[in-house]
Amino acid sequence: MPDLEARKVIELGYGGSERLVMNMGPQHPSAHGVFRMILTLEGETIAAMDSVIGYLHRCHEKLGETLTYAQYPSIASKTDYVAAMTSELAYVLAAENIGKIEVPKRAQHLRVLVAELQRIASHCLWLGTWCLDMGGALGGGATVFLYCFRERENVLDLFESLTGARLLYGFHQVGGTRYDLPEGWAQRCRDTMTVIDRRLDEYEDMLETNTAFQVRSQGVGVVSRELAQEVGIAGPLLRGSGVDFDIRRDDPYSSYGDFDFRIPVETAGDCYARYRVRMQEFRESSKIVRQVLDGLPEGPISSKPALKSVGQVRIPKGEGYARVEGPRGEVGCYLIADGGPKPYRMKWRGASFSNLAILPHIVPGHKVADVVAIMGSVDPVFGEVDR
Amino acid sequence: MTPDRAISLIKERFGLEAAGEGRSLTVEGVPVEGWQEFFDFAKETLGCRFFSFLTAVDWKEQGVEVVCRVENLDEGVGILAKCRLGADLRCPTLTGRYRGADWMERECYDMFGVRFEGHPDLRRILLSQDWEGHPLRKDYAVDTPHAPYR
């Protein structure tokens, strides 16, 4: 029966009606981390998707119960390691809310300053890696990627001279911040913002006039307003789907109420809309950074003494949920304090975890190549997904 | 919808006290059997369509408590509801109401062993499928031995 066998092989291989299960990941360059997608394909179209996460799980929530309020902020930065300032801030805000701890005005301004610089650095990373994923269509592959890293380095240099670290800072402490601006830092920061504002125009020129870029991002990965809210995606994804919500404006923390900025919203819900939202956020962030530098009040940077021992911060019994608007959306910390130096329970609401959960709802129906564009526009950081 | 209006509506419908300052309210003691009904009400009547997070807290002898937060983004009302579970750790699922509950409930099952009844695909999400125990329970010591490689 050799003929029958041969026919079987041909039908399986080229018939087109067979379903094929394909693993994308765990090590796939477009995931920017370890993430396994199990795609069921019909030809090149995705029929169903399952995701496997947890490769980077470090049980941050259990760690949070075993480390003190003085120790944990610098570990919190390791959840979302490309936007470390954000998660540190969420943690100390939660503790301060429960303990009703005052934060001096200067420290609040400094917190806004680093949060916005962090947003710029994080969005640079997103834009660069996303354009790299979408590859050669964008004029030589790595062009935008290298340009964005050049700008991100400038911001990381600023962080380095402020905190001594380039990626994981330990800048916040309960009651304020640990470091004050060094001499001449403000001027360097202004110069960096001027450069970045100018470069953003260049990126937009390179991308938005590029037909390949438009075709790969417009109408791809559309998230409706209803789906966006039900799944709980946040940040630029939510605003790209037409929901006008930003914690910085609608539920202000630190001193965001003192600054004047705009919340960009797009209604298309596709990859291009998310791109537009983030590009506008870049400019708003640099606007806020300038305002902070202009109006930085003098005074102490913390209402608590500098950290000398691990158990020196105690938070009275109580519970609270504090959240901040990170580069990827709502980063929240639900904290239960029992009066001791460590929390009784700590829950991270990681923005990337909720954002990634949108994938199984929007990927089916797209081609395999579109998955890469959608993943990049979601901008997950796996440290925060897996925690 | 305003937070004050939400407080009176919850009181009227369920007889539960909602407390809080600003836009965030906390509702303690939602009964297990009324868990789904409460979120139907939160979604339809209070307009809380945004699913923020779901987790649990192990109160040792007092049992496990499930905590879930939803929010009305347009009008500024956030509801954090809590529900104390029985010893069997069973809780009705919210996946039919909020699609974001899918992964969050899987994580809660993974970490606490809470069984969400009616969840379409309740398996571990962050830990491997053959992991033993539920690490965020208070009786799971940090130095619980487990094989480093499987």
| A227 shares a domain with A127 | yes
Check which CATH number belongs to the domain holding A225 and give it. Answer: 1.10.645.10
| A47 shares a domain with A100 | no
State the complex-level ipTM: 0.86
| A206 shares a domain with A65 | yes
**Distance, in angstroms, between B23 CA and closest chain A CA?**
8
The tens-digit pLDDT sequence of chain A (387 residues) is 445 554 454 445 544 567 888 888 787 777 777 888 888 888 788 888 888 998 888 888 888 888 888 889 888 888 888 888 998 999 999 999 998 888 999 999 999 999 999 999 999 999 888 888 877 556 556 778 888 888 899 999 999 999 988 888 889 988 889 888 988 899 999 999 999 999 988 888 888 888 888 888 888 889 998 899 889 898 899 999 989 899 988 888 888 888 889 999 998 889 999 999 999 998 999 999 999 999 888 888 888 877 787 778 888 898 889 999 989 989 999 999 988 888 999 999 988 999 999 998 998 888 888 888 898 888 888 888 988
Give me chain B's average pLDDT, please. Answer: 86
| pLDDT for A136 | 56
| pLDDT for A9 | 47
Q: Scanning the structure block, which residue is given the tokens 């109401």?
A: B97
Q: How far apart are CA B83 and CA B112, in angstroms?
A: 14
Cβ atoms of B111 and B103 closer than 8 Å: no
| pLDDT for A333 | 92
> Least CB-CB distance to B49: which of A54, A229, A386?
A229
Quote the percentage of chain B above a pLDDT of 70. Answer: 95
Sort A185 into a burial class: Cβ within 10 Å, 0-12 / 13-18 / 19+: middle
Average pLDDT over residues B6-24: 81
| A137 shares a domain with A72 | yes
| A240 shares a domain with A101 | yes
* Closest residue of chain B to A335, computed from CA coordinates: B57
| pLDDT for B146 | 63
| DSSP symbol at B138 | T
Average pLDDT over residues B22-35: 87
| A124 shares a domain with A19 | no
| A172 shares a domain with A33 | no
CA geometry: angle at A332 spanning A67 and A64, to 5°? Answer: 10
| A335 shares a domain with A273 | yes
| pLDDT for B16 | 80
Up-side HSE of residue A281: CA atoms within 13 Å toward CB? 32
CA geometry: angle at B100 spanning B95 and B104, to 5°? Answer: 85
The domain tally of chain A equals: 2
Q: Does residue B137 sit at the A interface (CB-CB below 8 Å)? A: no
Q: How far apart are CA A132 and CA A117, in angstroms?
A: 23
Tokens of A267: 């209604």
| A327 shares a domain with A255 | yes
Please count the other Cβ atoms lying within 10 Å of the Cβ belonging to residue B128: 11
Residues 52-91, chain B: which have Cβ within 8 Å of A? Answer: 52-53, 55, 57-58, 67, 69, 73-74, 76, 80
| A81 shares a domain with A26 | no
Please count the other Cβ atoms lying within 10 Å of the Cβ belonging to residue A329: 28
Confidence of residue B15 (pLDDT cuts 50, 70, 90): confident
| DSSP symbol at A117 | H
| A361 shares a domain with A219 | yes
Average pLDDT over residues B82-88: 88
| pLDDT for A158 | 92
Cβ atoms of B70 and B51 closer than 8 Å: yes
Q: Residue A26, preceding bond cis, omega within 30 degrees?
A: yes
Torsion angles phi and psi, residue B144, rounded to 5 = -55, 125
| A81 shares a domain with A100 | yes
**Distance, in angstroms, between A143 CA and closest chain B CA?**
36
Query: Residue A231 is part of which domain span?
Result: 60-386
**Distance, in angstroms, between A250 CA and closest chain B CA?**
8
| pLDDT for A71 | 87
